[in-house]
Amino acid sequence: MAGDHTGPVTSNSITDVPGIRVGQAERIGDGWLSGTTVVLAPPGGAVGGVDVRGGGPGTRETDLLDPRNLVELVHAVVLSGGSALGLASVDGVAQRLLHDGVGFPMGGPGEVVPIVPAAVLFDLGRGGTFANHPDAALGAAAYDAASTDVREGTVGAGTGARVGGLKGGIGSASVRLEDGTTIGVLVAVNAVGSAVDPRTGELYAERHCVPGDLPPLRRPTEDDLVAARAAAAADPSLVKPPFATTIGVIATDATLTKAQCAKVSGVGHDGLARAINPVHTMFDGDTLFTLATGAREPVDVFAFQDLLTAAGDCVTRAVGRAVLAAESAGGMRSYREAFPSALI
């Protein structure tokens, strides 16, 4: 069970992994409801891996993370709203890294190519104007905001996110294993499927969370359940599945290969499946990256299995935290607004 073999962490976020920083920027109002999140590796980079699932992914530089290919180190990962148009935000991050001299060395001083894989989610039109999407300027603003403080909820790439019929957002969680290895996760929850059990109104993720992940909760009342079902039935956007996609980053201070990072990402998707139903649909492009900073000694296969299990658990917990932290926006009700009786 999640937490049985773990120790305490500092902030319960991805930045509990030493050297990892997060920056976020968003635009809300005047037709906007979208944003960008950047997860920065330590200046020397981190070994990267990825697992892309679902029928509608929007990504950049994922082929580079194939273990058969040359480049080992990633300098940042960008998560953004805006669907394929939102990939423009990556340019702003890459230019900032280039200016700071961070990237794959190509020759003399300053001659580097930043390696910035990215994934996007669909939120076009949720602020009112379909064409509004994150661009290079918003990506640069996210980079400039990078720190070890991680905002959650209706921020960054989660600004325009929805999950089922409710507001989605950014969530993060972390864990420290008994051997000292730290694992952190950040997700932008934006799914066709629901994070809520329709029979009870409870979050699927709730049963997998550890003390401190969520505020005190109880099963919602039947009145709240009836009202939520009525609201969903009246929502025209739910008549046909909307385009969506949940994206995220798993980070660890372990020393891993690219192949091991890909495996971590794959098990991370198991964590999504515990928190969202259905998941990996034809209308989602669910994508999880993994960054391994290599600050600790390489692990044996048994310790690696512990890391895999904990990573999946962290993803589930981060989804739950995202849904609880989200605030109503763009006509999308938050879980807290839809199920007020769940809050103690």
Q: Which of 163, 218, 172 is nearest to 195 (CA)?
A: 163
Query: Is residue 60 assigned to a domain?
Result: yes
DSSP conformational letter for 203: B
In the chain, the percentage of residues whose pLDDT exceeds 70 is: 96
Contact 243, 8 (CB under 8 A): no
In angstroms, the CA 274 to CA 68 distance is: 31
- For residue 24 the two structure tokens come to 């976020």
Query: Is residue 239 assigned to a domain?
Result: yes
Q: What is the pLDDT of residues 52-106, one digit of tens each?
A: 998 999 999 999 999 999 999 999 999 999 999 999 999 999 999 999 999 999 9
Query: Is residue 316 assigned to a domain?
Result: yes
In angstroms, the CA 148 to CA 7 distance is: 20
Mean pLDDT to the nearest integer, 276-298 = 97
DSSP H/E element including 306: helix 301-325
DSSP conformational letter for 175: E
Query: Is residue 51 assigned to a domain?
Result: yes
User: In the chain, how many domains are there?
Assistant: 1
Predicted TM-score (pTM) of this structure: 0.96
In angstroms, the CA 92 to CA 90 distance is: 5
Strand partners, 73: 47
Contact 46, 52 (CB under 8 A): no
pLDDT bin (cut points 50, 70, 90) of residue 2 is: very low
In angstroms, the CA 104 to CA 71 distance is: 8
Q: What is the pLDDT of residues 196-254, one digit of tens each?
A: 999 999 999 999 999 999 999 999 999 999 998 888 877 776 656 678 999 999 999 99
Q: Which of 327, 162, 178, 153 is nearest to 245 (CA)?
A: 162
Q: How far is CA 314 from the centre of its chain?
A: 11
Contact 251, 183 (CB under 8 A): yes
Q: What is the pLDDT of residues 16-58, one digit of tens each?
A: 999 999 999 999 999 999 999 999 999 999 999 999 998 999 9
What are the φ/ψ torsions at residue 329 (nearest 5 degrees)? -165, 150
Q: Is the pLDDT of residue 132 over 70?
A: yes
In angstroms, the CA 53 to CA 50 distance is: 10
Contact 92, 318 (CB under 8 A): no
First vs last Cα of the chain: how many Å apart? 25
DSSP conformational letter for 154: S
CATH number at residue 304: 3.60.70.12
Range of the domain at 72: 6-342
In angstroms, the CA 272 to CA 267 distance is: 9
Query: Is residue 127 assigned to a domain?
Result: yes
Q: To the nearest whole number, what is the mean pLDDT of the chain?
A: 95
Query: Is residue 153 assigned to a domain?
Result: yes
What are the φ/ψ torsions at residue 257 (nearest 5 degrees)? -85, 170
- For residue 344 the two structure tokens come to 């103690």
Handedness of CA 152, 155, 158, 162 (dihedral sign): positive
Three-class DSSP category at 219: coil
CB neighbourhood size of 52 (10 A): 19
Query: Is residue 1 assigned to a domain?
Result: no
H helix intervals, 126-280: 136-144, 222-233, 258-275
Per-residue model confidence (pLDDT) at position 1: 38
| Amino acid identity for residue 116 in this structure | V
Quick one: 84 exposed, middle or buried, by C-beta within 10 A (0-12, 13-18, 19+)? middle
